Structure 1
């Protein structure tokens, strides 16, 4: 059976550095940090008092009051990104078989704000009285449900949950379904809204977050010797994946081809990466094999690069092991230095960044680099602090999650 080709025909984003895809990309190129003191709850007594929040988001600018009350912030952000992507793709402009349009989503946590509010509300009264929308607002799979209902898309519809790799796994699932002829178009995305008391408190308890409260904008510093943890972010991203012939037939603008998707497991530890980067190496190797490309074809990698002491070293070593001498000829970066870590939404948001790198021939910087880490090979080009112009024909994006879940996607210039 000959597999069908899968292309990107639209995208949308709402992030800590831009409330649409255009603003997001411009902020990345200019090296803007999205980190600031937390406004979504009182973080005075928390070890970490800052995060990368979505700025100036008013749900009532996008939903009527009744609709908004039925949705967690996680879902609201997801729908906004999906609407932008659908409009950008033009898939509704002509005839469309909606039975062959799916929505596949990724979220590592789901409606944490709703869960926190409802459970604390019950605990404070001892009366088991809950909002009837509690469960539908909280569950991680509700966002693609809302999107399908809004547009009448009857194709495959579900959410992948693999911690921070969730939306990258959603991309890979979408790719395989289109390749096998199970759908013509998939609205593929991810969202997360975990900047809550329990979200920040939970990650603080794991000692996973930066505590650089005196200087939030420089706190996310991947690969820097003085990095002290990741910065929690929130937001959503969506890409429209489409079967190539279907896109050509309707005259769609094609922005890139999704050629490869790789998956692997560290099989090592609940939260720590494999010390030798074994899972990271395998997932990139698997992705290249799926794409039918060699290591020398790679021009750019958007790294997972969370700004954690162990993770950055393991991933850097994996790239060197996989690419050999070619590793020193490519541009690599971590856009989390600007957006923070969007958890389950990270995969798709960073895939959008990689696609834009192909479109515009610009690799965004890894900001906040001050001191080299002697444990990381200095020959690797992390695109520190300033964007670089580069003709990128092949771009990869890595996303790794707690539990040892690894996903890698590969896009090529069309």
Structure 2
């Protein structure tokens, strides 16, 4: 089947690659000509394990192509996926600027009846708005399908081919059936519903997972007050099949392009419709507070942090991605700079993105060893394998004072006890 993808960000590129991999002829369009040329040269503009190989393999097999010419992208295509970004705007409202631009481009350039599939995360009711917007300009009939993505950065390829479900929302049974057929080679269970329910499923799923994270972080704070161990508490909870073990890892809060934005967007949508999501408001507040926990521990330990040297280990919001959006590291570095701390930061892949944020206000290191050298304190922010597997003996050897603030509980208490390290973790 001939398919067009509008938008070659994280979602668009993964979507185009997997659709080509299962046998479709896919053309990816983006207004950014530099990005398109980069991909054509065999590179991708962000870090996602396994994606580059998948993209290049399907380019070589003539199933996947890229263009910045919208007319070329839409010619002969009856299936159009919209995968553009929908960033957070003011007061939690979603900024739909890119989505509206994409819809306007489609409206002006389609030459036949089309099915438009929105994979972008959009406020409830957006599919209907886009349909009306396009049909106000185009003479061709439009059918809409909401097909939200559930991809985790860093494991998007696995999440695509081994998903728990595919959600398809549409008022057209024919369009829904066609999208089902498109994805049939994946062999993944499909759930069909209406447009608005499909849109809300995405938001509700992310909001619930964010709630589990904030919940366990509040229990972690209680554990520290009571002398309990959050890892044992979480494990005991997770053994209950009604709860499950996932997203019950205490830490310094969630970040990234999805959870913060989606929780805020759902709160904003509810407020607009006269509802109040009290639990989700609390989830947001707990997460904001949690991002300050390590710095508060450090200030309690040292008193003044002025002119002290600190190592920040990890800048991305999670492992296996270079995405630093809403990363706890951003808040942590900003606060430490305000306190007069001299910072050296390490991350395997997100240094360049961090430089855009902090410039020369901090130092950057390509190795954990260099970041730790003569440091008076170290903060583990992202649980990269490089960091989790780093020998504790090296903290003793390299640091001026081996004081470690572990925001991801990377080391067991028993293991740390064998070394002369002052160790502060979460909920233990």
Give the alignment's TM-score, normalised by structure 1.
Answer: 0.29
Q: Highest relative contact order (Cα 8 Å, sep 6+), 1 or 2?
A: 1
Please identify the structure whose Cα radius of gyration is greater. 2
In terms of fraction of residues, the more helix-rich structure is: 2
Give the alignment's TM-score, normalised by structure 2.
Answer: 0.29
In terms of fraction of residues, the more strand-rich structure is: 1
